[in-house]
């Protein structure tokens, strides 16, 4: 058992357990906290794949940004309604059947796919490579992403404005 | 040594769990959390393929999906709060104003 194997199983266990908790816990606020745990575990997966830059982005944007926004939204809606919002589920059996069928389909595809290639040695500095790709072949996409963020900001402001 | 299929199966499991959450949750915020899990699983797949193929495009795609997800969550929650102000509920089953 190498350090990488142990790390993978630890991260995978935490990720799957917290993901299940997100969809099963009745308390919405707890679900968001479990989502934060799942996102941090995903950052751990990125670290196992030797991508320190994506690890940092995942922690800052996802675990920092998204969780904060969702917590704010829950607190706002709970304060507006003045009572705790219960988080009930419906059609649990049907949902489980569909989710299991999708998983079986993906695994069936993976079994038939030629994926046995070994992992190449990670000698390249991927952070520098990402930076060069962002201003090289993906420069237009990066600009479009900036436009999208401005539009999303304006849209969120429009929806959340006060009534007057 | 952990191979590529292990990462892909981990991603598939997280995706299925997120799909289960989207299908079964009544609360609109809960559905958004399920979508977050599904997008997260896609990111795991992208990074794993990029690492095992030595291609930087998958990493750039992951950066883009993370940024787009943050924008999506901000707009989605703003819509949820706006709906909540009007209808006093965030239960997806009761938001049937557009039903014919």
- Six-digit token pair at A157? 């402001």
Residue with tokens 């304006």: A154
Domains of chain A, residue spans: 3-90, 125-164
Number of helices followed by number of strands (H, E) in chain B: 3, 0
Indicate if the pLDDT at residue A14 is higher than 70. yes
Q: Count how many pairs of residues, chain A against chain B, have C-beta atoms within 8 Å.
A: 230
Distances (CA, A) of B23 to A118, B12, B17, B35: 37, 16, 10, 10
Whether domain B4-91 has CATH 1.20.1050.10: the reply is no
- Put simply, whether the predicted model's pTM sits higher than 0.95 gets the answer no
Per-residue pLDDT at A101: 92
The CATH architecture of the domain made up of A3-90 is: Up-down Bundle (1.20)
- Chain B: closest CA distance from residue A130 (Å): 6
ipTM of the modeled complex: 0.88
Alpha carbon dihedral A21, A50, A54, A47, in 10-degree steps, equals: 30
Per-residue pLDDT at B28: 84
- Check CB contact of B99 with chain A, cutoff 8 Å: no
- Distance separating alpha carbons of residues B83 and B93, to the nearest angstrom: 13
Domains of chain B, residue spans: 4-91
Indicate if the pLDDT at residue A83 is higher than 60. no
Indicate if the pLDDT at residue A87 is higher than 70. no
């Amino acid at each position: 058992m190498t350090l990488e194997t142990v790390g993978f199983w630890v991260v995978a266990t935490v990720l799957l357990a917290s993901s299940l908790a997100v969809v099963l816990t009745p308390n919405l606020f707890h679900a968001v906290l479990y989502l934060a745990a799942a996102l941090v575990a995903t950052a751990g997966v990125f670290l196992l794949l030797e991508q320190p830059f994506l690890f940092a982005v995942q922690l800052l944007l996802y675990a920092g940004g998204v969780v904060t926004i969702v917590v704010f939204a829950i607190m706002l809606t709970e304060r507006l309604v003045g009572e705790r919002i219960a988080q009930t589920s419906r059609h649990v059996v049907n949902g489980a059947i569909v989710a299991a069928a999708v998983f079986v389909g993906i695994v069936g595809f993976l079994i038939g796919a030629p994926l046995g290639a070994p992992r190449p040695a990670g000698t390249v500095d991927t952070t520098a490579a990402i930076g060069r790709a962002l201003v090289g072949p993906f420069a237009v996409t990066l600009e479009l992403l900036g436009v999208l963020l401005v539009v999303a900001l304006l849209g969120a402001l429009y929806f959340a404005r006060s009534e007057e | 040594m952990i191979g590529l299929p292990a990462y892909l199966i981990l991603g598939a499991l997280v995706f299925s769990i997120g799909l289960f959450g989207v299908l079964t949750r009544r609360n609109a915020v809960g559905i958004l959390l399920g979508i977050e899990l599904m997008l997260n699983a896609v990111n795991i797949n992208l990074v794993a393929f990029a690492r095992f193929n030595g291609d930087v495009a998958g990493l750039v795609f992951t950066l883009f999906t993370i940024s787009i997800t943050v924008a999506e969550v901000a707009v989605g929650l703003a819509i949820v709060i706006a709906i909540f102000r009007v209808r006093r509920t965030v239960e997806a089953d009761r938001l049937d104003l557009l039903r014919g």
